[in-house]
């Protein structure tokens, strides 16, 4: 005969254990939820579900900015710079994206001189800095600053490229290859942009931060960032005059990211180039947009 007191004792113990387990699970879940909230708060980024489609959040914090490359003094100095969290497009603005803005009567109609670079999913080319700025404004966005672009490209530890320190090649980026030809041929013409996202993603899930099309950023070009001071190297630097549309004494805007037309050195995250903002470069300047948080 089974002792009923034993059964009651077992049931009681099992019930107690079950209750304790449930409480532990609830507490753990709450702690995890709180940790996620704190992580989001610390990074400055919204919850993933609240990030607009096609954009990525670059978390707040310091990164290694610039380089001490002996060949390019305008990349000096290499310093740690704090950047607040922001959003940036995962892809370069495509021809199809830009033409929608043209069709809506909100953007200037610009078409590349080269038929092999007019594909709907290839980066929009031949836009001036002002036209790139205007497109981003129509989207409720803006051009990224040079420092934002560089952090998004290289991460926080000062890597040379978006994928690390392996020298850029045609497997990793759309650049000029070792023989002086472009990595991509279209319609039998050597050298061209590729469709956006044709190479592996780099930091933060971004594509073509090195190669494909050079990209306009918001900053005026200061050849000596040390002399420029806090505007170029302080917290959230935006370059001379804060990148405003007019800046006395400055005539060129910064280009970043390398392109199909240039070799691996130009695809380095720290590389800088200057260009007159009103000009329309014919075949290898594009852009992407960013948004403040």
In a domain, 82, yes or no: yes
In a domain, 184, yes or no: yes
- Which pLDDT belongs to residue 107? 98
Contact 60, 85 (CB under 8 A): yes
pLDDT tens across 205-228, in order?
999 999 999 999 999 999 999 999
CATH number, domain containing residue 98: 3.90.1580.10
In a domain, 25, yes or no: no
- Which pLDDT belongs to residue 189? 62
- Which pLDDT belongs to residue 188? 60
In a domain, 40, yes or no: no
- Write down the pTM of the prediction: 0.85
pLDDT tens across 165-175, in order?
999 999 999 99
Radius of gyration, alpha carbons of the chain: 25
In a domain, 4, yes or no: no
The number of distinct structural domains making up the chain is 1
Low-confidence ranges of the chain (pLDDT < 70): 1-41, 179-180, 185-190
In a domain, 193, yes or no: yes
């Amino acid at each position: 005969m089974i002792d009923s007191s034993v059964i009651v004792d077992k049931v009681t113990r099992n019930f107690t254990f079950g209750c304790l387990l449930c409480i532990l699970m609830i507490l753990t879940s709450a702690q995890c939820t709180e940790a996620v909230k704190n992580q989001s708060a610390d990074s400055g980024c919204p919850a993933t579900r609240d990030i607009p489609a096609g954009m990525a959040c670059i978390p707040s914090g310091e990164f290694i900015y610039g380089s001490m490359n002996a060949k390019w003094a305008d990349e000096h100095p290499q310093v740690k710079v704090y950047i607040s969290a922001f959003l940036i497009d995962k892809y370069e603005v495509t021809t199809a994206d830009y033409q929608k803005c043209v069709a809506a009567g909100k953007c200037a109609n610009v078409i590349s001189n080269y038929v092999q670079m007019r594909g709907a999913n290839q980066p929009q080319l031949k836009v001036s800095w002002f036209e790139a700025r205007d497109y981003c404004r129509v989207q409720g966005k803006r051009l990224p600053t040079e420092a934002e672009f560089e952090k998004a490209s290289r991460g926080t530890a000062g890597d040379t490229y978006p994928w690390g320190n392996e020298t850029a090649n045609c497997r990793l980026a759309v650049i000029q290859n070792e023989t002086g030809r472009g990595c991509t041929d279209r319609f039998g013409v050597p050298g061209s942009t590729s469709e956006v996202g044709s190479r592996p993603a780099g930091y933060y899930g971004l594509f073509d931060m090195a190669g494909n099309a050079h990209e306009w950023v918001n900053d005026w070009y200061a050849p000596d960032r040390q002399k420029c001071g806090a505007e170029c190297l302080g917290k959230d630097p935006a370059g001379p005059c804060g990148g405003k549309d007019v800046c006395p004494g400055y005539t060129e805007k910064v280009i970043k990211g390398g392109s199909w037309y240039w070799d691996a050195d130009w695809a380095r995250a720290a590389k800088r180039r200057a260009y007159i903002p009103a000009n329309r470069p014919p075949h290898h300047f594009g852009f992407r947009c960013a948004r403040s948080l």
